[in-house]
């Protein structure tokens, strides 16, 4: 047995799955999916064959003639990898698995009508990254293996399904369509096909009362059928086509045909998820000033770096996120200007330093290439692969010049598209195509060293320096004047707040908010950064706003700093009790991944 991924039971001696055909009956009352999956392998196999599962009930496994295939689930459940499903194959190249998901599926969030925007119908969506696809269907749940798939979603007729795949048809059920013993009355079938091979974490769908607006020749914005929400999203993302064209200019042709966006309910745990053909977004990126489109730029950049070229395991996650952060900032610079890109870099620099400090007791996770044996990828998540990875690529660009690096990037993408690679593969390609680069840059230090290398680049633009200087001057009781902040948008305020010294006093926080109403900002980046500073300095005047925020959004970017500030930074037992009460009341509104992150904060600091 030779595992290929510390987070998967997949065995290197077993043939990879090449295609999965799914029939899914979504049962909203029970929050489960009754399912049939047809697996096609690269070549016939005899002997044990391993698949990853989590919280799945396996009903039967058969061949194409309905003959049973022996199977077993591991008696013990690994807290990270879940349960190993072992099939005993006899020269099989395909097989069927009948199974049912659990209401506790870590990838699925089932929302009741009151938890949605329109309050009328239930809603469900998936979030499979990093290793949660196994809770939706059995699979070789590692990015080292790429599969194509088709799916039939059997759903209530009043709802609509969208998927990160080509929509084939919406049709009435036929006699041969499996309802798994349920009535077909009031049901409809939505069919999809993903013809290009993708890693399992990019499997994604959502079902609810969903509508859309056209915003470009290749882009629709989907959301719940609330006109105000749809219209505001369409305005925020109206520049998407320009971004796609810029991405193509920089990185080569767009391979995925369409680039649609889905704005999910506020419980979505991330800013965005790069599912090909259908990016998932939090509604908090709709800010009214088009700066939320920077998240779209990031997810778009994944169309080349991440979706086309994928990290082989999560231990090389920087190959996805460092490249994408670099690509995002190149797109933003071209479309929104150098100032926006520079502010983005400044905020990222601060986030990198904070996360290196967060992992001071586990420096392994400050490496680009790290060892995650026995570590849940959700617990390892940080800005390090994003921002240190970006800094590494920027260091190479600074060494060889932008024109040469642009040519290198295009060649890299063309060489490895639709492949999963590791850090060594990238470094070998780098050395071969930029001879002598290892003599100018310490590649081992950058990829295997801890912390931030001394030749990393702290932004030195005038706008960055001015804002950081203003933040530092707060130690003298000075706050920015009206003239100084006249042209500030959310990013400027975020950079300012993130750089305020920890010694700031309660009176200064109160005065700052009295003048600029930061606690009431519609930009959650600004609001949460302000509330975090208020909690950390012991200012309790905004705890009602903290409670409101933690109960209305589930994005981990906001949950992590606010809960951490309450249970760690403030040092108050009263705040810990307050945080635990908030979580107990808000927990069911968070996606299971976000629930786990908050629980880990409590486990570490209480």
**What is the phi/psi pair of residue 273, to 5°?**
-135, 130
Whether residue 127 is annotated as binding a ligand: the answer is yes
Q: How far apart are CA 49 and CA 175, in angstroms?
A: 33
Q: How far apart are CA 302 and CA 324, in angstroms?
A: 6
Whether residue 270 is annotated as binding a ligand: the answer is yes
Active site annotation includes 386: yes
Chain-centre distance for alpha carbon 321: 10
Give which of 201, 188, 185, 178 is closest to 36, Cα–Cα.
178
Q: With contact defined as beta carbons under 8 Å apart, do 30 and 181 qualify?
A: no
Whether residue 82 is annotated as binding a ligand: the answer is no
Whether residue 274 is annotated as binding a ligand: the answer is yes
Q: Is 235 exposed, middle or buried (0-12, 13-18, 19+ CB in 10 A)?
A: middle
Provide the 10 A C-beta neighbour count for residue 398: 14
Whether residue 7 is annotated as binding a ligand: the answer is no
Whether residue 508 is annotated as binding a ligand: the answer is no
Q: How far apart are CA 583 and CA 15, in angstroms?
A: 44
DSSP at 476: G
Q: With contact defined as beta carbons under 8 Å apart, do 82 and 54 qualify?
A: yes
Residues 6+ apart with CB under 8 A from 52: 8, 9, 10, 81, 82, 84, 85, 131, 134, 138, 139, 140, 141, 142
Whether residue 129 is annotated as binding a ligand: the answer is yes
Whether residue 448 is annotated as binding a ligand: the answer is no
Which residue in the list 299, 315, 328, 333 is annotated as catalytic? 299
Whether residue 558 is annotated as binding a ligand: the answer is no
Q: With contact defined as beta carbons under 8 Å apart, do 571 and 563 qualify?
A: no
Q: How long is the chain?
A: 606
Which residue in the list 99, 149, 326, 386 is annotated as catalytic? 386
Q: Token match 């790290």: residue?
A: 370
Residues 6+ apart with CB under 8 A from 85: 50, 51, 52, 53, 56, 58, 71, 72, 73, 74, 138
Helices 240-251 and 402-416: crossing angle in degrees, nearest 10, is 90
Residues 6+ apart with CB under 8 A from 375: 6, 80, 365
Whether residue 557 is annotated as binding a ligand: the answer is yes
Q: Token match 């890109």: residue?
A: 341
Whether residue 532 is annotated as binding a ligand: the answer is no
Whether residue 312 is annotated as binding a ligand: the answer is no
Helices marked H in 381-489: 389-400, 402-416, 423-433, 437-440, 443-448, 462-472
Whether residue 298 is annotated as binding a ligand: the answer is yes
| Vertex 25 angle, CA 24 and 29, to 5° | 140
Whether residue 595 is annotated as binding a ligand: the answer is no
Whether residue 199 is annotated as binding a ligand: the answer is no
Binding residues for a peptide, by number, are 127-129, 269-274, 555-557
Catalytic positions, written as ranges: 299, 386
Binding residues, by number, are 127-129, 269-274, 298, 302, 321, 555-557
Binding residues for Zn(2+), by number, are 298, 302, 321
């Amino acid at each position: 047995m030779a595992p290929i991924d510390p987070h998967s039971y997949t065995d290197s001696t077993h043939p990879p799955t090449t295609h999965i055909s799914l029939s899914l009956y979504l049962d909203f009352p029970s929050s489960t999916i009754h399912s049939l999956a047809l697996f096609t392998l690269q070549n016939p196999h005899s002997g044990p064959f391993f698949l990853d599962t989590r919280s799945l009930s396996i009903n039967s496994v058969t061949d194409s003639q309905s003959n049973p295939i022996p199977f077993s689930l591991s008696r013990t459940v690994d807290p990270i990898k879940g349960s190993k499903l072992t099939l005993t194959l006899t020269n099989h190249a395909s097989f069927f698995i009948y199974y049912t998901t659990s209401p506790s599926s870590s990838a699925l969030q089932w929302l009741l009508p009151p938890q949605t925007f329109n309050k009328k119908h239930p809603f469900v969506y998936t979030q499979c990254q990093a290793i949660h696809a196994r809770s939706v269907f059995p699979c070789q749940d590692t990015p080292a293996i790429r599969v194509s798939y088709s799916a039939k979603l059997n759903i209530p007729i009043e709802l609509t399904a969208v998927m990160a795949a080509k929509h084939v048809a919406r049709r009435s059920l036929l006699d041969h369509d499996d309802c798994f013993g349920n009535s077909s009355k009031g049901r409809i079938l939505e069919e999809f096909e993903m013809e290009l091979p993708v890693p399992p974490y990019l499997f994604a769908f959502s079902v609810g009362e969903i509508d859309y607006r056209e915003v470009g020749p290749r882009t629709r914005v989907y959301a719940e059928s609330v006109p105000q929400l749809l219209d505001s999203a369409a305005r925020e993302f109206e520049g998407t086509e320009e971004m796609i064209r810029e991405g193509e200019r920089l990185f080569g042709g767009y391979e995925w045909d369409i680039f649609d966006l889905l704005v999910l309910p506020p419980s979505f745990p991330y800013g965005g998820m790069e599912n090909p053909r259908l990016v998932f977004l939090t509604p908090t990126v709709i800010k009214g000033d088009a700066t939320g489109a920077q998240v779209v730029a990031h997810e778009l950049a994944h169309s080349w770096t991440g979706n086309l070229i994928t990290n082989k395991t999560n231990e090389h996650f920087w190959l996805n996120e460092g490249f994408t952060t670099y690509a995002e900032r190149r797109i933003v610079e071209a479309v929104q200007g150098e100032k926006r890109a520079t502010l983005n870099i400044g905020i990222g620099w601060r986030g990198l330093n904070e996360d290196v400090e967060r992992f001071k007791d586990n420096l392994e996770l400050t490496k680009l290439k790290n060892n995650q044996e026995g570590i849940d990828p959700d617990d390892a998540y940080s800005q390090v692969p994003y921002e240190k990875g970006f800094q590494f690529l920027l260091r190479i660009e600074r060494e060889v010049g932008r024109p040469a690096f642009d040519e290198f990037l295009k060649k890299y993408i063309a060489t490895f598209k639709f492949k999963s690679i590791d850090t060594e593969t990238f470094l070998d390609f780098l050395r071969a195509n930029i001879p002598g680069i290892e003599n100018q840059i310490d590649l081992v230090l950058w990829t295997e060293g801890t912390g931030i290398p001394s030749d990393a680049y702290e932004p030195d633009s005038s706008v960055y320096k001015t804002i950081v200087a203003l933040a530092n001057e707060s130690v003298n009781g000075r706050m920015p004047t009206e003239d100084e902040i006249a042209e500030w948008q959310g990013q400027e305020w975020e950079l300012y707040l993130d750089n305020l010294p920890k010694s700031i006093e309660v009176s200064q926080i109160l005065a700052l908010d009295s003048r600029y109403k930061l606690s009431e900002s519609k930009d959650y980046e600004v609001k949460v950064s302000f509330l975090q500073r208020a909690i950390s300095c012991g200012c309790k005047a905004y705890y009602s706003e903290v409670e409101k925020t933690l109960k209305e959004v589930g994005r981990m970017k906001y949950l992590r700093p606010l809960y951490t500030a309450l249970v760690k930074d403030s040092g108050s037992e009263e705040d810990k009790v307050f945080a635990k009460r908030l979580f107990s009341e808000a927990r069911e509104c968070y996606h299971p991944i976000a629930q786990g992150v908050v629980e880990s904060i409590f486990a570490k600091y209480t």
